Amino acid sequence: MAHATNHRNLSLKFLIWGYIIWSLVPVLIAVIYSFNDGRSRTVWQGFSLRWWITDPYASIFRNDETRNAISNSLVLAFATILVVTPLGIALAIGSQRIRGRSANFVQGLTSTPLITPEIVVGAALLLTFTRLFTAVPLGFVAQLLGNVTFSLASVVVIVRARLVSIGASFEEAARDLGATRWQALRFVLLPMLWPSVMASLVVVFATVIDDFVITSFLSAGVSSETVPLRIYSSVRGGATPALNALATLLVLTSFAVLIIGLFGLSTWRKRHGERGGLRAALADVTQINS
Amino acid sequence: MARPMDTLYRWLTQIKLNKSPRLWAGFAIPGTVWLIVLFAIPFYAVACVAFGTIDPVFRDAVPQWNPLSWNFVQAQQIFTSLATGPLQGVAIRTVVYVVCAMSLSFVIGFPIAYFLARHAGKRKILLLVLIIVPFWVNYLMRMLAWVNLLSVDGLFTRFMRIFGVNYNWLDGSPITVILGLVYGYIPFLILPLYATLERLDWRLVDAARDLGANSRQAFRLVTLPMSKAGLVAAGILIALPMFGDYYTNDLLSRSPSTEMIGNQIDFFLNASSQPQNGALLVLALSLFLLLFMSFYLRSTRQQTRQVTR
């Protein structure tokens, strides 16, 4: 019996490592080929940094269009964060505390964007901005509004989870000690929400910087081209390894933000005497408890 | 415009009446208004374009804002086309590809989630991190990686040639598209599955085994019924984006012979300007997905209620 169980565990172990290899190695190969010396993305011709920095025209840090896309992506991500974070925190607090029929409505409204396919949101916003709210021009502003709408729900989910785990007792204690409702919120609850705010920043940044569908539906050509749009339009052409370099840069950026966020989260926890460390930080960001 | 604003105002003031302090309602209002204006109203706009008319001179769609004068001529045409006409292939392909990709994702993903939740032991955190990594790798990068491997002189194509397999992977192959969907979305299945299985009370399974059930019976009679809700929710979670996917197809096949409904929407709205047809397909897709979405929302709401209690 024990033998059979071990046998099955072994094959499960094979499966899981096989899966991990399958899911990561192709990406690693693409990263490696960004250092290819030749123009091919499939045949190795020696190591070079030409697609990253040395080539004066084609390398990603020197090509004007690519630099434009990089700056567009960063501006869009930071602008979205600026708008969506306060909006999301307020909505999370408010929607958790109102009661009755309107509460159901607000809750339904906040959780629906999270599971609506992006193409539906993108198409709906495109038709809205071209026909109803025609004051909103396609391009940066439309992309900003679209990305805020799409990522609002994830901020709400993350902050609400934290609100639930904090519970009402701290605020009640503050109220008993004479704080007004607003003071209890400002000086007791908000500081405790900090980990979820940090987690939201990381998640929103990664979502927006990676977003393709909404940003593409609402773009107005080259002036509002972001990195994912640039990658998308050249994957099937005869693009050089500069494409791999650009995609690698995108991945490195989101990992950098993730790692900074995780580090910040676990430090915060340590300093405030909350247990969990990195594990809890990971749970903050992924919303999955391990 | 006066009447909708009135209703909106009355509705917003009602929040306050529902026994909640004004402060909390004030917190919820900005976000709620944002979502009404930029999420709910856009759906209405889609319907107005879908049931509007076509300008006879410029061939552009003219939205009909008054529901009472909606015109359903084009809608009928598109729906007939989806059911029996030229778009039938697209409809069938969308469903078949998603069902295949889903089944394959479950076949691969369930054992992985199961192992992670039950037997991972000391390596659990490492494995979990490695499984979360693809989440943070841009989707386009993951597709780009496979485009490189599968192109005519790509590593994988060359590798397969050793075994005498000479297949044109990137030229309208349904196999590539389905595997691409699996590759793209399976991380989003494994994590929720893991979360579900992790929460199960495995003592009940052990009890079933102690009472004489063999492992297969224990799985079928105890594990599966206990985790059914989570499995369905996780399945819906990846089915929804798969149904709306067009980029996977666009990157890995680019052929009309593998087009899904997302590709048609993208085509109508972005490539050729036929916004009315695009709006109608968006509407058809949303109606179809509404079923799954409401089911998912209900099941998660039940879960949060259990948690908050």
Are B13 and B69 within one domain?
yes
- In chain B, whose CA is at the least distance from the CA of A259? B136
Are B30 and B126 within one domain?
no
- Can you give the pLDDT at residue B1? 45
Are B25 and B110 within one domain?
no
Q: Which of B18, B43, B286 sits opposite A100 (nearest CB)?
A: B18
- Give whole-number Cα distances, B198 to A7, A20, A290, B48, B299, in Å: 22, 20, 8, 46, 18
Residues listed for chain A: 290
Per-residue pLDDT of chain A (290 residues; tens, 9 = 90+): 445 566 777 888 899 999 999 999 999 999 999 999 988 888 898 899 999 988 888 889 998 999 999 999 999 999 999 999 999 999 999 988 887 788 888 888 988 888 899 999 999 999 999 989 989 999 999 999 999 999 999 999 999 989 988 888 888 899 889 888 888 888 999 999 999 999 999 999 999 999 999 999 999 988 999 999 999 988 877 788 999 999 999 999 999 999 999 999 888 888 888 877 777 777 777 766 54
* Dihedral, CA of residue A163, residue A164, residue A169 and residue A174, to nearest 10: 10
* Spatial contact of A200 and A85, defined as CB atoms under 8 Å apart: yes
Q: What are phi and psi of B297, to 5 degrees?
A: -60, -40
Are B101 and B14 within one domain?
no
Are B159 and B251 within one domain?
yes
- In chain B, whose CA is at the least distance from the CA of A166? B308
Is there a domain that residue A13 lies in? no
- In chain A, whose CA is at the least distance from the CA of B111? A12
DSSP A188: I
Picking from B253, B244, B251, the residue whose alpha carbon sits closest to that of residue B169 is B253
Distance (Å) from the alpha carbon of B84 to chain A's nearest alpha carbon = 24
Angstrom distance (rounded) from CA A45 to CA B50: 53
Interface test with B, best of A22, A98, A266 (most B CBs within 10 A): A98
Distance (Å) from the alpha carbon of A16 to chain B's nearest alpha carbon = 6
Boundary (domain end) residue, out of B80, B99, B130: B80
Angstrom distance (rounded) from CA B69 to CA B280: 17
* Spatial contact of B234 and B117, defined as CB atoms under 8 Å apart: no
- DSSP of A243-277, one letter per residue? HHHHHHHHHHHHHHHHHHHHHHHHHHHHHTT-S-H
User: What CATH number did the domain enclosing A84 receive?
Assistant: 1.10.3720.10
User: What CATH number did the domain enclosing B198 receive?
Assistant: 1.10.3720.10
Are B127 and B266 within one domain?
yes
Distance (Å) from the alpha carbon of B131 to chain A's nearest alpha carbon = 7
Angstrom distance (rounded) from CA A251 to CA A243: 12
Is there a domain that residue A131 lies in? yes
Using only the alpha carbons of chain A, give its radius of gyration: 23
Q: Angle, to 10 degrees, between the axis of helix A101-115 and the axis of helix B2-17?
A: 110
Q: A132 contacts in B (CB within 8 Å)?
A: 41, 45, 48, 63
Q: A29 contacts in B (CB within 8 Å)?
A: 145, 148-149, 155
User: Which amino acid does the sequence have at A283?
Assistant: A
DSSP B122: G
Residues listed for chain B: 309
Could you tell me how many helices (H) and strands (E) chain B has, helices first? 15, 2
More confident residue, A96 or B103: B103
Q: What are phi and psi of A273, to 5 degrees?
A: 65, 20
* Spatial contact of B180 and B146, defined as CB atoms under 8 Å apart: yes
CB contact under 8 A, A87 and B31: yes
* Spatial contact of B75 and B51, defined as CB atoms under 8 Å apart: yes
Q: Which domain holds residue A162?
A: 64-286
Are B74 and B161 within one domain?
no
* Spatial contact of A163 and A238, defined as CB atoms under 8 Å apart: no
Angstrom distance (rounded) from CA A94 to CA A92: 6
β-bridge mates for residue B61, sequence order: B54
> Structure tokens of B72?
């359903």
CB contact under 8 A, A30 and B31: no
Interface test with B, best of A8, A16, A138 (most B CBs within 10 A): A16
Are B199 and B295 within one domain?
yes
Are B153 and B229 within one domain?
yes
CB contact under 8 A, B195 and A94: no
Q: Is A148 helix (H, G, I), strand (E, B) or coil?
A: helix
* Spatial contact of A28 and A15, defined as CB atoms under 8 Å apart: no
Q: Is B76 helix (H, G, I), strand (E, B) or coil?
A: helix
CB contact under 8 A, B24 and A93: yes
Is there a domain that residue A184 lies in? yes
Are B31 and B144 within one domain?
no
> Structure tokens of A133?
């709210």
Number of neighbours of residue B141 by Cβ within 10 angstroms: 26
| Matching residue, tokens 């939205």 | B63
Q: A113 contacts in B (CB within 8 Å)?
A: 35, 39
Distance (Å) from the alpha carbon of B88 to chain A's nearest alpha carbon = 20
CB contact under 8 A, A98 and B145: no
CB contact under 8 A, A244 and B155: no
- Can you give the pLDDT at residue B309? 40
Number of domains chain B contains: 2
Residue B16 has pLDDT above 70, yes or no: no
β-bridge mates for residue A47, sequence order: A36
CB contact under 8 A, B115 and A12: yes
Interface test with A, best of B20, B140, B276 (most A CBs within 10 A): B140
Q: What are phi and psi of A47, to 5 degrees?
A: -90, 140
* Spatial contact of A123 and B46, defined as CB atoms under 8 Å apart: yes
Boundary (domain end) residue, out of B39, B61, B80: B80
- Can you give the pLDDT at residue A1? 44
* Spatial contact of B279 and B64, defined as CB atoms under 8 Å apart: no
Q: Pairing mode, if any, of strands B53-54 and B61-62?
A: antiparallel
Q: How confident is the model at residue B10 (pLDDT cuts 50, 70, 90)?
A: low
The tens digit of pLDDT for each residue in B115-154 reads 998 887 788 888 988 998 998 899 999 999 999 999 888 8
Residue B305 has pLDDT above 80, yes or no: no
The H-or-E segment that residue B49 falls in is: helix B41-50
Q: A282 contacts in B (CB within 8 Å)?
A: 128-129, 132
Boundary (domain end) residue, out of B52, B80, B108: B80
- In chain B, whose CA is at the least distance from the CA of A211? B138
Angstrom distance (rounded) from CA A206 to CA A173: 37
Q: Angle, to 10 degrees, between the axis of helix B174-199 and the axis of helix B124-132?
A: 140
CB contact under 8 A, B140 and A27: no
As to burial, measured by CB atoms within 10 angstroms (0-12 exposed, 13-18 middle, 19+ buried), residue B193 is buried
Picking from A259, A161, A140, A257, the residue whose alpha carbon sits closest to that of residue A210 is A257
CB contact under 8 A, A94 and B111: no
Distance (Å) from the alpha carbon of A23 to chain B's nearest alpha carbon = 7
Is there a domain that residue A189 lies in? yes
Q: A231 contacts in B (CB within 8 Å)?
A: 138, 140-141, 144
Q: B307 contacts in A (CB within 8 Å)?
A: 164
User: Which amino acid does the sequence have at B220?
Assistant: R
The H-or-E segment that residue B54 falls in is: strand B53-54
Exposure letters B142-151 (e unless 16+ CB within 10 A, then b): bbbbbbbbbb
Is there a domain that residue A23 lies in? no
CB contact under 8 A, B125 and A286: no
Q: A258 contacts in B (CB within 8 Å)?
A: 136
CB contact under 8 A, A109 and B35: yes
Using only the alpha carbons of chain B, give its radius of gyration: 24
CB contact under 8 A, A123 and B278: yes
Q: Angle, to 10 degrees, between the axis of helix A64-97 and the axis of helix A101-115?
A: 160
The tens digit of pLDDT for each residue in B147-204 reads 999 988 889 988 998 898 888 888 889 999 999 999 999 999 999 999 889 888 888 9
CB contact under 8 A, B115 and A9: yes
Percent of chain B predicted with pLDDT > 70: 91
Number of neighbours of residue A21 by Cβ within 10 angstroms: 12
Residue B33 has pLDDT above 80, yes or no: yes
Distance (Å) from the alpha carbon of B115 to chain A's nearest alpha carbon = 7
* Spatial contact of A255 and A285, defined as CB atoms under 8 Å apart: no
Are B232 and B285 within one domain?
yes
- In chain B, whose CA is at the least distance from the CA of A217? B270
Number of domains chain A contains: 1
CB contact under 8 A, A16 and B148: no
CB contact under 8 A, A128 and B41: yes
CB contact under 8 A, B198 and A290: yes
For chains A and B, what is the number of CB pairs under 8 angstroms?
286
β-bridge mates for residue A36, sequence order: A47
Q: A112 contacts in B (CB within 8 Å)?
A: 39, 293, 297
* Spatial contact of A253 and A245, defined as CB atoms under 8 Å apart: no
Are B14 and B101 within one domain?
no
> Structure tokens of B106?
């479950």
* Dihedral, CA of residue B176, residue B180, residue B183 and residue B185, to nearest 10: -150
Picking from A38, A68, A58, the residue whose alpha carbon sits closest to that of residue A224 is A68
Q: Which domain holds residue B37?
A: 2-80
Number of neighbours of residue B161 by Cβ within 10 angstroms: 11
